[in-house]
Structure 1
Amino acid sequence: MDPDSRREMIVRAALPLVIEHGSAVTTRQVARAADIGEGTIFRVFADKAELLDACVTEALSPDHALAELALVSMDQPLAARLTEAASALQAHLDRVGAVLGALHATGGRGRSGRPGSPVGTPDRAAGSLPVREALVEIFEPERESLRLSPEQAALIFLGLLFAGTGMPPAGGGSADASPQWGVRDLVDVFLHGVLPQPVRI
């Protein structure tokens, strides 16, 4: 196995452990999960901190979410396309939050090198430009019927997705009991607003 493939395999094995244990995860645990000798880890990573940074980089990467967005069928109505897109992006943000949250809670080293420093931002976590461009493609078939351009709509939708994280579900309930706003609720509010009837301003 070449070094890049070995790094990728080790990071894949380490990510669930980082989510579970944060920075307290040991290289022995990672080696056991990857079914390799502990020394193999240090052939491709200088130390555990470098391995943790690689895990953060992988968590922040939007590649998997972009692959999911590319699979959204454009034959569906816009609401269905946006629901699939929001689900893919929410899953990505959940993983980012789980990794960064676990590291932060255990005093993990951020990329700044300061203990407990946060790593990444929501904009970086969602992949920024590539994700916005993928969302623009989802809006594109409705370009002529939209009040905004697909570019503007994609930016607002992405912002609403970030804002929706941690909001209580529609119809009441506490944020503690259900920390994520349902993607169907998000899409419905995005497309139809919060009032039962449109209001001219």
Structure 2
Amino acid sequence: MTPIPRLSNDARRAQIVEAVTPAVLEHGAAITSRQLADAAGVAEGTLFKAFGDKESLLTALVEHHMTDERTEGFESDSLEAVVETMVGVLVERMRFMFQLVVALGPIAQRVAGERRADFEQSKHWIAEHFEPYAGQLRVTPLVAADLVRTLSWAAAASWGEDAPVSSADDILQVLLHGIVRTDAEPDASAPTPLAGPPASVLEDQKA
């Protein structure tokens, strides 16, 4: 029988981090070592051996999730498909990051501050996916990437509301078509004007 390979220290730490993430999002920084151990399915001593203490584990968790993993699969034969996929991925990821910051407060904010350069760099790899369609863009690929990232952030954030006002589909429509109506159809939300008397009646009255 082939022996099961043992995980490296880094792989083991990553496995623990993934396992405890749902519990951390639920309990926040107040989560206990016992709760973390139960979520990971290991003894508390194993956690201390792998991370040192609870705050180090939580810091490692934030760093793990803030690592820029460039998702593949944006390649397509149309600009619209690339934008649609990109917006969906970014909104989902940013919503998760908001949850993480809310749950862990200063710990997550500190790591985010340390990773600011990585965040700024992210618009460049987004721009790479727009390069093949540069001729179809009204702005440069880098500007397009910055706008996609900014609007995706807006769709992911609630900004004090119970739920985000804009959706990923709203952002997609704005990016591809703008916010100004270009068709000749009347606004469906506008009241229908009352019909006036026929012109023939007005002519009779004048006479």
- Normalised to the residue count of structure 2, the TM-score between the two structures is 0.74
Residue of structure 1 equivalent to 2:103: 102
Which 4+ runs in 1 deviate beyond 6 A?
Answer: none
Checking the alignment, whether the CA contact within 8 Å between 1:74 and 1:138 is kept in structure 2 is no
Larger Rg, first or second structure (1 or 2): 2
For 1:133 and 1:39, locate their aligned partners in 2 and report how far apart those are by CA, in whole Å.
Answer: 42
Aligned-pair distance for 1:183? Answer: 1.3
Do structure 1's residue 81 and structure 2's residue 82 form an aligned pair? yes
Residue of structure 2 equivalent to 1:48: 54
For 2:158 and 2:37, locate their aligned partners in 1 and report how far apart those are by CA, in whole Å.
Answer: 38
For 1:191, the aligned partner's letter is: L
Q: Residues 180-195 of structure 1: matches in 2 within 5 Å?
A: 181-195=166-180
Residue of structure 2 equivalent to 1:33: 39
Q: Residues 18-167 of structure 1: matches in 2 within 5 Å?
A: 18-63=24-69, 66-67=70-71, 70-75=72-77, 77-104=78-105, 109-110=106-107, 119-120=111-112, 124=116, 127-129=119-121, 131-166=122-157
1:57-93 CA-partner distances (Å, limit 9, x unpaired): 1222231xx22xx212322x32222111111111111
Aligned-pair distance for 1:167? Answer: 6.0
For 2:12 and 2:50, locate their aligned partners in 1 and report how far apart those are by CA, in whole Å.
Answer: 8
Q: Which runs of 5+ in 1 are unaligned?
A: 112-116, 169-173
Aligned-pair distance for 1:103? Answer: 1.8
Checking the alignment, whether the CA contact within 8 Å between 1:61 and 1:127 is kept in structure 2 is no
Indicate which of 164, 181, 202 corresponds to 1:196: 181
**Equivalent residue pairs, number:** 176
For 2:125 and 2:44, locate their aligned partners in 1 and report how far apart those are by CA, in whole Å.
Answer: 40
For 1:195 and 1:184, locate their aligned partners in 2 and report how far apart those are by CA, in whole Å.
Answer: 16
Checking the alignment, whether the CA contact within 8 Å between 1:93 and 1:126 is kept in structure 2 is no
Q: Which runs of 5+ in 2 are unaligned?
A: 1-6, 184-207
Aligned-pair distance for 1:137? Answer: 2.5
Percent identity between matched residues is 32
Aligned-pair distance for 1:166? Answer: 3.4
Aligned-pair distance for 1:13? Answer: 1.3
Aligned-pair distance for 1:128? Answer: 2.9
Residue of structure 1 equivalent to 2:195: none
Name the CA shift for 1:126/1:16 in 2 (closer, same or farther; >3 Å): farther
- Normalised to the residue count of structure 1, the TM-score between the two structures is 0.76
